[in-house]
A and B are shown apart, each in its own frame.
Chain A
Amino acid sequence: MDLFANLWMGLSIALTPMNVLYLLAGAMIGMIVGIIPGFGPSAGLAILLPVTFGMDPVGAVVMLAAIYYASMYGGTITSILLNTPGESATVASTFDGYPLARQGRAGPALVMQAVASFVGGTVGVVLITLLAPLFALLARNFGPPEYFLLAMMGMLLLVVMVGGNWRLGVISALIGFALGTVGVDLETGQQRFTFGSAELIGGIDFIPVAIGLFGLGELYFSLWQGLHLSRTGSIVDYHRERRFWPEARDFIETRMTLVRGSLLGFVVGVIPGAGATIASLMSYSIEKSVSREPERFGKGAMAGLVGPEAANNAASAGAMVPLLTLGIPGSASTAVLLAAFLLWGLRPGPLLMSQNPEFAWGLIASMYLGNIALLALNIFAIPLFVWMVKTPYRILAPAVILVCTIGTYSVNGSIVETWLMFVAGIFGFFMKMFGFSPAALVLALVLGKLAEEALRQTLTISRGSFMIFLERPTSLWIIGITAAVLLVAPLLRRAQPRD
């Protein structure tokens, strides 16, 4: 069959010694880029782009793509250990990942996240191999109305996600929406709430806010509780449970979660836009909805970590579909990859895969190998990370502040964003103290902006008529799926017999 011939050819290209070397280099760099808070894959890719100027395109793309998906593995590590998401796609991983670490289950949590990432990533590549052209159709049908509905779906899922006091959750989300309105109004070009500051024209960036609210906020809170003075003096009470490997129970309980997260992540990831973030959130709320013990979510449920992890890795594979089949980048990272394609003299577009089969299939084949390499790399590196959380807090805390500061500054070299991170940190401390939801705030910041822009684009296109949402088949599908997720899933759960 053509497909296997192509894949075989791809493997023979990906397995040349030089390309294997590039792949491993990319995987290592991507892990590191992912681990440093703030320093996300798009910044890492952009900095390494000039290195690839003289390289063979296949080797170069194998390396750059590996950086991209490896950062999805690495990004979760700080979410779990330090409650610090490196990017919006790993926010959902903090909800249950960090509680797991604090309960002394950092080892199992990290192993499970590596396994989930591997399954998500691999399911993603298999789907690219088999069905890329079919999924390209999905990407082709997404216009502003569909983006608005998708963002609305994400926001409705926020309601499911926010635990504890829902009033405080709503207030947190409203603050996030308010922050999202800062910057140049996309439609009219006028400035909103920038107070004449040139730094605010581009709006308030997600990264410094998230690092501040989650990472620094949590850190200040721990210091306030006197963690650095306590006898064990580390984040986790590690002696409570010594097991490094997950238990069989962890795998059995989450096997369906893995499948759901991977498939969902891939499909949502194919859609250009906020794919991986929305996918991880959807996965989290679906898992919470179908779970027999939703009350455990947010307090260290393994499914609450595994679902979003499988989803965001599958989504990063999904994002390759519009890039390879349409030449359309779906995220900041794939936009850098697209710029790289042009630099190497390739012509991205629907004909790329047939005109440059060795390039496209070499890349796809390398993603199989890359995911295997990353699983191994993660498992070997985990003891090192677990050792990190055992470090006395009085040493760890300043190191974390330093790394967060460097990470945030290095993204844009902006001192204003660095200050923003510190201010968000203080804000995060008070939010934690009074039970507000930092997650609702940062996600509203991302989704609110997206929803507002897409709604205004839609209404310009339809000249003010809301009927446009019912006239487009893809829109109707999204409305249907949202209704199903919100209404049917809880009903199903109730129908399930409890044991």
Chain B
Amino acid sequence: MNRVSSMLKSALAAGALAAALALPVASAGPADAQDYPSKRLEWTIAFGPGGGNDIMSRTLIDILQKHKLYPENIVAENRAGGSGAVGWGYVFGKKGDPYQISSTSGSFVTTPLQADTPWKPTDFTPIALLASDDLVLLVKGDSEIETVQQFIEAAKKKPPTIGGIGAVNVDFIIPKILSKQAGFDFDYVSFNAAGELNTALLSNSLDAIMANPGEVLGLIESKDMRPLAYSGETTPPALGDVPTLKEAGYEIGVSLPRGLILPPDVPKEAQDWWIETIKKVVETPEWKDYLEKQILTENIRYGEDFRTFLKTTQDRFAEILREQGAIK
């Protein structure tokens, strides 16, 4: 009821605004569409400098400028706060403006589930999903467990402790789905950052962890940690012959979206322009290099397919988190 009334309100407000601006909008709209892009682009990074989202955004901006794919200036702005709520809230407020863009990451799905944000991921104009963050299940290097099957067998006898980063996060969701399908129980231990998580496994505090491959690759190479399975569609080459959970017989189907979005209600022409441009971006050697170094799974879905992906991911998350009581 509340949501309906707030939607009504915003629809009314948008209507009033459109009526008030009817003349300028009518004249600016088509002109914008024809020679898009002809103005400076404002790129919102919803996190502070140095994080995963920031590095991806700056890599993309670098590629767009180096290959002269965007004819005008691009200004990157870090608008951090509230796990992305502030930055994406800003872009959401720029309804219809095709010169606003932002990159998404895991919090794009999880923050609206946790907080009362005025926006949902599906409200924005989707450009493309570029890659997804998938995780690897690891045990300590000297563990007796060598395969994911052995892990599940042992887990059925004695519920293991599995560590990951954050509670409302894919780190928790993936083992939860796995445990339901395989039929075991586990205790999840939530950490703030990769450093604490990795030392928790090395110090024999936990039975297993879920981690970003990039952060544990060195520890896998030195045999301090042993990878059992990867949650994505295909295992990245750097991980060698580690099976995916799908190959092991479990359908996980969630991962965190690294993609690009425009504000809601942007002209179709601008969305199409960006889809065409991104098709060129993902072919550049710089982008391939970025994926390889960050060990991300390439996962490209354009336009509406991206919106569908966001919807399924969020629904799946909401269902599991609601069962756990983490969200209402």
Contacts and interface: CB of A to CB of B under 8 A. Distances in A.
Contacts of B215: 327, 338
B200 A453 contact: no
Contact of A461 (B86, B187, B199): B187
B83 A273 contact: no
Interface stretch (A161-169, A277-285, A328-336): A328-336
A413 B224 contact: no
A189 B324 CA distance: 10
B312 interface: no
Contact of A329 (B167, B194, B326): B194
B49 A47 contact: yes
A201 interface: yes
A350 B218 contact: yes
Q: Which of B77, B191, B203, B224 has the most CB of A within 10 A?
A: B203
B325 A201 contact: no
A45 B327 CA distance: 35
Interface residues of B, number: 62
Interface stretch (A14-22, A340-348, A397-405, A483-491): A340-348
A306 B77 CA distance: 40
Interface in B206-226: 206, 214-215, 217-222, 224
A472 B288 CA distance: 45
Nearest to B198: A328
Nearest to B115: A198
Nearest to B197: A328
Interface residues of A, number: 67
A141 interface: yes
B261 to A, nearest CB: 18
Contacts of B325: 188, 190
A350 B219 contact: yes
B114 interface: yes
Contact of A142 (B48, B86, B199): B199
Interface stretch (A92-100, A144-152, A172-180, A358-366): A144-152
Contacts of B3: none
A339 B83 contact: no
Given A143-B205, A413-B77, A189 B54 contact: no
A201 B51 CA distance: 18
Interface in A372-417: 411-414, 416-417
B82 A201 contact: yes
B196 interface: yes
Contacts of A190: 325-327
Given A53-B62, A189-B167, A349-B218, A329 B82 contact: no
Interface in A9-59: 42-43, 45-47, 49-50, 53
A460 interface: yes
Contacts of A199: 81-82, 85-86
Given A140-B199, A349-B222, A202 B293 contact: no
Contacts of A186: 166-167, 190-192
Given A49-B50, A342-B214, A457-B190, A188 B326 contact: yes
Contacts of A53: 62
A412 B81 contact: yes
Contacts of B179: none
Interface string B82-103: 1101100100000000000000
Q: Which 3 A-B pairs have the closest CB atoms?
A: A349-B218, A46-B50, A143-B205
9 contacts: A143-B200, A186-B191, A187-B167, A189-B168, A196-B116, A199-B82, A349-B222, A412-B48, A457-B191
